[in-house]
Structure 1
Amino acid sequence: MALADYYNRVNLDLLQQIPPAAQIILEVGCGAGAMAEAYRRINPAVHFLGIELNPEAAQAARGAGRLDRVITGDAAAVEPVALGLPALAAGPGVDCLIFGDVLEHMVDPWSVLARLAGWVREGGLVLACIPNVQHYSVIVNLLRGRWSYHDEGLLDRTHLRFFTLEGIHELFTRARLEVYDVQPRMWGDANAERFRQIMTPVLGPLGIDPARFAAQTQAVQYMVRAVRGPAPGATATSCRRLLLWSLLGSVIGSEVRIQEPHRFLATMPGVRVVTGTGLQFVDLGRTLPGEDRVFVEQRVVIPIGDHLQLQRVLLEQGYLIVAEFDDDPLHFSELVSSEFFALRSCHGVQTTTEPLAQVLREYNPNVQVFPNQLAILPPPRDFFDSDVEVDTGRGVSVSPATLFFGALNREADWAPFLLALNRVLAELKGLVRVLVVHDQALFQALETTDKAFEPLCSYDRYHSLLHMADLAWLPLEPTRFNRHKSDLKFLECAGHGVAVLASPTVYSGVIRHGETGLIYGSQEGFRDQLVRLIVDTTFRRRLATSAYREVAENRLLARHYRQREAWYRAMLGRLPELNRELMERAPELKPR
Structure 2
Amino acid sequence: MRTPAAAERVRYVGTADAAFADAVRARNPRAEVLTGAAEAAPVDVLAAEDLGRLLADPVASALLGHTQVLTSAIPGGTRDAGALLSDLTTRGFTMLHLQAVAEPDAYFDDIADDLVEPWRAGRLSAEPTPRALVAVARRGEGRPRLLLSMFTFAPNLMDIRTRLPAEAMRSEPEILLQHTRPVRQLPPAPLDQPKIFLLQRPAPPLDVEGWKNAMLARIREGWITVLEFDDHPALTARANNREMRDADWIRFSWAHAVQTSTPLLLDLFRQHNPETRLFPNAVFRLEKFPENLPKRVFYGAFGRGAHAVETAASLGPAIAEFPGVEFVVVGDRAVFDALPAVRKRYHEVLPYEDYLKLMGTCAISLSPIEASDLHAAKSDAKFLDAAARGVLTIASPTIYSDVIRHRENGLIAPAISDWAPTLAEALRDDDARRRMARNAWDYVRGSRMFADQVRARHDWYRDLWARREALNAAMLTRMNR
Question: Is the structural similarity TM-score above 0.5?
Answer: yes
Task: Specify the alignment match of 1:274 in structure 2.
Answer: 178
Give the SS at the match of 2:96: strand
586 and 422 in structure 1: CA distance in 2 versus 1, 3 angstrom threshold: farther
Q: In the TM superposition, what whole-angstrom CA distance separates every residue of 1:111-161 from its partner, at most 9, and x where no partner exists?
A: 4455211112xxx11122223545xxxxxxxxxxxxxxxxxxxxxxxxxxx
Residue segments in structure 1 that go unaligned for 5+ positions in a row: 1-13, 52-74, 86-92, 135-162, 188-208, 231-237, 385-399
- The equivalences for 1:7-406 within 5 A come to 14=1, 17-51=2-36, 75=37, 78-80=38-40, 85=41, 93-101=42-50, 103-104=52-53, 109=56, 111-112=58-59, 114-120=61-67, 124-133=68-77, 163-185=79-101, 213=125, 217=128, 219-230=130-141, 238-281=142-185, 284-287=186-189, 290-305=192-207, 306-331=210-235, 332=237, 333=242, 336-338=245-247, 340-383=249-292, 401-406=295-300
* Rounded Cα–Cα distance in structure 1 between residues aligned with 2:398 and 2:364: 19
**Counterpart of 2:98 in structure 1: which amino acid?**
V
Q: In the TM superposition, what whole-angstrom CA distance separates every residue of 1:19-65 from its partner, at most 9, and x where no partner exists?
A: 222222111234442111111101121221111xxxxxxxxxxxxxx
Q: 1:339 deviation in Å?
A: 5.1
**Counterpart of 1:479 in structure 2: which amino acid?**
S
132 and 527 in structure 1: CA distance in 2 versus 1, 3 angstrom threshold: closer
* Rounded Cα–Cα distance in structure 2 between residues aligned with 1:348 and 1:125: 30
Q: How many residues align?
A: 457
Contact 1:132 1:165 (8 Å CA) reproduced: no
Q: 1:330 deviation in Å?
A: 2.1
265 and 32 in structure 1: CA distance in 2 versus 1, 3 angstrom threshold: closer
382 and 79 in structure 1: CA distance in 2 versus 1, 3 angstrom threshold: closer
Contact 2:204 2:248 (8 Å CA) reproduced: no
TM (normalized to structure 2)?
A: 0.88
Contact 1:111 1:175 (8 Å CA) reproduced: no
1:414 pairs with 2:414: no
Of 459, 468, 475, which residue of structure 2 is paired with 1:566? 459
**Counterpart of 1:508 in structure 2: which amino acid?**
S
TM superposition outliers: structure 1 runs of 4+ over 3 Å:
110-114, 215-218, 306-310
Contact 1:254 1:298 (8 Å CA) reproduced: no
Q: 1:212 deviation in Å?
A: 5.6
Q: 1:351 deviation in Å?
A: 0.6
Give the SS at the match of 2:394: strand
Q: 1:304 deviation in Å?
A: 2.9
499 and 583 in structure 1: CA distance in 2 versus 1, 3 angstrom threshold: same
**Counterpart of 2:24 in structure 1: which amino acid?**
Y
* Rounded Cα–Cα distance in structure 1 between residues aligned with 2:196 and 2:381: 26
Contact 2:313 2:340 (8 Å CA) reproduced: no
102 and 47 in structure 1: CA distance in 2 versus 1, 3 angstrom threshold: same
Of 352, 356, 374, which residue of structure 2 is paired with 1:459? 352
Give the SS at the match of 1:340: helix
Task: Specify the alignment match of 2:318 in structure 1.
Answer: 424
Give the SS at the match of 1:516: coil
Task: Specify the alignment match of 2:427 in structure 1.
Answer: 534
TM (normalized to structure 1)?
A: 0.72
* Rounded Cα–Cα distance in structure 1 between residues aligned with 2:129 and 2:368: 53
* Rounded Cα–Cα distance in structure 1 between residues aligned with 2:463 and 2:17: 43
Contact 1:301 1:335 (8 Å CA) reproduced: no
Q: 1:285 deviation in Å?
A: 4.6
Residue segments in structure 2 that go unaligned for 5+ positions in a row: 104-120
Larger radius of gyration between Structure 1 and Structure 2: 1
32 and 560 in structure 1: CA distance in 2 versus 1, 3 angstrom threshold: closer
Contact 1:323 1:343 (8 Å CA) reproduced: yes
Give the SS at the match of 1:27: strand
**Counterpart of 2:5 in structure 1: which amino acid?**
P
Contact 1:351 1:368 (8 Å CA) reproduced: yes
* Rounded Cα–Cα distance in structure 1 between residues aligned with 2:10 and 2:406: 38
Task: Specify the alignment match of 2:377 in structure 1.
Answer: 484
Contact 1:344 1:364 (8 Å CA) reproduced: yes
**Counterpart of 2:189 in structure 1: which amino acid?**
T
Contact 1:110 1:175 (8 Å CA) reproduced: no
Give the SS at the match of 1:452: strand
Of 323, 328, 350, which residue of structure 2 is paired with 1:435? 328
**Counterpart of 2:201 in structure 1: which amino acid?**
R
- The equivalences for 1:477-516 within 5 A come to 477-516=370-409
Higher relative contact order (Cα pairs below 8 Å, separated by 6+ residues): 2
* Rounded Cα–Cα distance in structure 2 between residues aligned with 1:373 and 1:128: 27
Q: In the TM superposition, what whole-angstrom CA distance separates every residue of 1:340-381 from its partner, at most 9, and x where no partner exists?
A: 121111111111111111111222222111011111112322
* Rounded Cα–Cα distance in structure 2 between residues aligned with 1:229 and 1:352: 36
Task: Specify the alignment match of 1:233 in structure 2.
Answer: none
